[in-house]
Amino acid sequence: MVLGLSLPAFTLVHVIISLIAIVSGLVVMFGLLGSKRMPGLTAIFLLFTILTSVTGFLFPFKELLPSHMIGILSLVLLAIACIALYGMKLSGAWRPIYIVTAMTSLYLNVFVLVIQSFLKVPALAALAPAVPPAPPSGPVFAVVQGIVLVFFVLVIIGAWRRFRPMAFA
């Protein structure tokens, strides 16, 4: 049991939180490309992305895993993003710092989504088999993760160049 929920129920809650974080993050990402301020949706994205990482640490574990390292990195990036956005109001260098940290956190969430998809979706698992505790591997998995990485690098560069809010937070 985790937080009074059975492990399957807690897993479902964690997945729903993660999907809300990813969907809201993708909308915010495209808002950045259009230099649109989205304070409400941005708050939802940041909150649910933080909750995704925090709830990930509540699953039973015996040793520090790569997923925990991703969670720690994401929380550090999200703390910096929140400082840049809410504390420093995106002034000066804090605008690109916010873009890079917030969107890298979104990338990490999508990175984990791809891994979990290859582990849980039978058709994908057949394309990139995993031998627990190792993650999926093989050329198909590498190509998909490569496409996701290139997409995020290009979007982050685009957002860095385009996002010029008049006032934020």
Show the tokens assigned to 164.
């010029």
What 3-state class would DSSP assign to 20? helix
Question: What mean pLDDT is reported for the chain?
Answer: 93
Per-residue confidence (pLDDT) for residue 11, from 0 to 100: 94
pTM for the full model?
A: 0.93
Percentage, residues of the chain above pLDDT 70: 97
Q: Where are the alpha helices (DSSP H) in the chain?
A: 7-33, 39-56, 66-82, 94-120, 122-127, 139-162
Q: Residue 65 has what pLDDT?
A: 87
Domain assignments of the chain as residue spans, ordered by start: 7-162
Q: What per-residue confidence (pLDDT) applies to 128?
A: 84
Residue 129: what pLDDT? 78
- DSSP, residue by residue, 44-90: HHHHHHHHHHHHHTTS--SS--HHHHHHHHHHHHHHHHHIIIIISTT
pLDDT of residue 126: 87
Tens of pLDDT, residue by residue over 112-160, are: 999 999 999 999 888 887 776 678 888 999 999 999 999 999 999 999 9
pLDDT of residue 169: 47
User: Going by C-beta distance under 8 Å and a sequence separation of 6 or more, which residues neighbour residue 44?
Assistant: 20, 24
How confident is the model at residue 1, as a pLDDT?
Answer: 84
| pLDDT computed for residue 115 by the predictor | 93
Residues of the chain with pLDDT under 70: 132-133, 167-169
HSE of 19 in the Cβ direction (CA atoms, 13 Å)? 8
